[in-house]
Amino acid sequence: MTNNSSVRQYVKRILRIVHGFVEVFLHWLFGLVYGGAKQSMPPIKDLLLLESATEIAMKIRSGKRTSTEVLESFIERIKEVNPLLNCVVADRLEEARKDAKNVDELIKSEKFSPEVIAKSKPLLGVPFTTKDCIAVEGLIHSAGLYSRKDTRAEKDALAIARLRAAGAIPIALTNVSELCMWWESANKIHGRTNNPYDTSRIVGGSSGGEGCAQAAAVSAFGIGSDIGGSIRMPAFFNGVFGHKPSPMVVPNDGQYPEPVSEEQERFLGIGPICRRAEDLLPILKIISDNPQKLRLDEHVDIKTIKFYYQETDGGARLVSSVSPDIKELFIKIAKHLEKAHNVKATKVSLKRFKISGAMWFANMKSADGPTFSKQLANLKGSINPYWELVKSIFRCSKHTLIGILTCLIEKAGVKYDSEKYHYLVKERDAFRLEVLDILGDNGVLLYPTHPTSAPYHNEPLIKAFNFSYTGIVNVLKLPATHCPMGLDRHGLPIGVQVIAADGNDRLCLAVARELEKAFGGWVPPNIQA
């Protein structure tokens, strides 16, 4: 028995070494294909674009800047960078101009004081963007699916409606992956989005266009959604902040595709993506059902938080090793906490992180939800993935290769209600209890958001399971915030995610502000040709 176990461990080590060599070779190969395609990024001219949404709102209501001036600055920025990045896919700029004009007239009337406006409409006149799967009345609502290219939203998603009620102005939609189920944002309607730090690299998905838009400063803030890392991975790859809220605190109303089970409803969350950490909390307050339940107005003292960290998933199969630059971040954070707050961060080793991917896939299964083939047909019949694969060879398919491959491998995964399924659900439940026991009501866990900085375009095809670093948080039903922490040796953004017990989003947001203050947060992109 011992000999068999030793042989298995030896084989696993050998396979991991082989996988590592294959990854390095293919990364080099993708670099040859895409690495020479870098283009220059236009510099940010208006310093207003560097400011937080909170600061912009204050300047508008106090009369220091008009909403129209602010809007025109962002419109000019969209025109500058979108031909290069392809992050904005639809807009309502003329309607937004009318909205901004109405805001300016209200401010000029002096009908309400800045203090009253700050309470009733805290984001008055502030332009924002959201991804093309969250409904904005009158705009395309495609989720990157070609058969929905002419579909228009009849009304705002509830989160968007709440932002409008708070005075914010939606100006554009941003790009996503097909049906929002992949971590590179490319589809057959709008094409592919490029990373503002290196245009040969990906922006993540499915809120990749939004992460890119925030890094490139094309709006004051953004809204994304996250069922397996779709807020946090784009925030990571683009060097901005992104928060996945606790389950069911922000309504998922107005999204497409909709969750197909109660479990998926709890895994999915709408949340903010922004350049400045101070914007996370006020935006979350506006879009959430019950800010009081989250105690978002409660002061958080960093000294009272218990910090835990884990640098890797422990060596999961077919998942990339965590880069040295990312591993170093945990040491830097631990040293800062001890020096600045006399707080000691405790290193932990949670073994179940090794099966994060398996747990996510199993827990996403549903009893009677539509297959991916049906979803790609917009729930009107079902596509033939084999025929679509043939068509894709000749570039005739209206679906992405990853969408077609997902259909082909869907049946090969864990079956709903099977013995393996029940095992992985139990493992998830046990892991959730283990993590909650460690965190308590005043703890956070620092964990990699992703094992490497942004890969080259299409490289995720050979690193498909790297999303497990974020996906596990969804099925554990916990809140998490991605925090940018500068650039790696390749000039690409890196950072960490901060995880707390459900309902303790305020701890994640407080740590995000602390890390921004200590390490600088968002770094404006500066691409050299």
Which positions are annotated as active-site residues?
131, 206, 230
Quick check: bond before 282 cis, omega within 30? no
Angle at 510 between CA 505 and CA 516, to 5 degrees: 125
**How far apart are alpha carbons 122 and 284 in whole angstroms?**
12
> How far is residue 33's CA from residue 36's CA, in Å, rounded to a whole number?
7
CA distance 50 to 216: 10
- 316: nearest Cα among 284, 364, 354, 287: 354
Q: Report DSSP state, residue 495.
A: E
Over the Cα atoms of the chain, what is R_g?
22
| Rounded-to-integer distance, Cα 62 and Cα 203, Å | 36
Torsion of CA 412, 418, 423, 428, to 10 degrees: 70
Neighbours of 379 (CB within 10 A): 12
Torsion angle, alpha carbons of 386, 389, 390, 394, to 10: 170
Q: Are 99 and 168 in contact (CB under 8 A)?
A: no
Rounded CA-CA distance 370/410 in Å is: 12
DSSP state string for 350-398: -GGGGGHHHHHHHHT--SSPPPHHHHHTTTSS---HHHHHHHHHTT--S
Report the interhelical angle of 158-165 vs 280-287 (nearest 10°).
110
Please report, as a single letter, which amino acid is at residue 490.
Answer: H
Q: Is 431 exposed, middle or buried (0-12, 13-18, 19+ CB in 10 A)?
A: buried
Which contacts qualify for 421-427: CB closer than 8 Å, 24 or more apart? 421/362, 421/365, 424/355, 424/358, 424/359, 424/362, 424/363, 425/362, 425/363, 427/352, 427/355, 427/359
- Would you tell me how many other CB atoms lie within 10 Å of the CB of residue 292? 10
| 3-state DSSP assignment of residue 136 | coil
Residues 331, 335, 337: CA angle, nearest 5 degrees? 115
d(CA 267, CA 262): 9
Amino acid at the residue 208: G
The secondary structure of residue 234, as a DSSP letter, is: H
